[in-house]
Amino acid sequence: MGQFATGVAVIAIQSESGAISAMTINSLVSVSLDPMLVSWNLQNASSQYAAYAEAERFSFSILAGGQQALARRYAARGDSALMLEDFEDGVGGLPMIRGALAHLACRRFAVHSAGDHTLILGEVTDMAQAAPGELPLVFFGGRFGALAG
């Protein structure tokens, strides 16, 4: 599957106390337009599995080509590398990555077991295009790269 190029996004959740958790993913997929649904895959062995699997609301920030450092930062295990200055209050009142191409606010729609991962579907409740005209960050062959224009 490393020969399949994907986009890169950061999913963020916020606890009732206001603490932010964020994780880099390359499994964001558009599923349906009516209702507008997206899905992503959460590894069952993730150190933050419970927090993400049980989150009622979450956001996606679709990363731009120049945001490789952010993608690497939030690919690290746990929240030890989290930097609050990477985030802003975004659509739907959820934390979003500054300078991302687009933002989606979602509420959990369904959760399904899928082998060693859990498939989570979110209903999009709000969205915004934040950086029009920029090219996306992609993941291919185990490496991040910018899409050539």
Domain residue spans of the chain: 6-140
Confidence of residue 142 (pLDDT cuts 50, 70, 90): confident
Res. 10: pLDDT tops 90: yes
Residue 2, C-beta contacts closer than 8 angstroms, at least 6 positions apart: 140, 141, 142
Mean pLDDT, all residues of the chain: 90
Q: What pLDDT, on a 0 to 100 scale, did the predictor assign at position 1? A: 72
Residues 89, 76: Cα–Cα separation, whole Å: 22
For the domain 6-140, what is the CATH code?
2.30.110.10
Task: Report cis status (omega within 30 of 0) of the bond before 35.
Answer: yes
Q: What is the pLDDT of residue 28?
A: 95
For the segment 30-40, the average pLDDT, to the nearest whole number, is: 97
Amino acid 58: pLDDT: 97
| C-alpha to C-alpha distance for 95 and 131, rounded to whole angstroms | 16
pLDDT at 78: 64
Residue 85 has pLDDT above 80, yes or no: yes
Of the CA atoms within 13 Å of residue 66, those in its CB half-sphere come to: 7
When pLDDT is cut at 50, 70 and 90, the band that residue 100 belongs to is very high
Residue-level pLDDT at 110:
97
Alpha-carbon distance 52 to 57, whole Å? 9
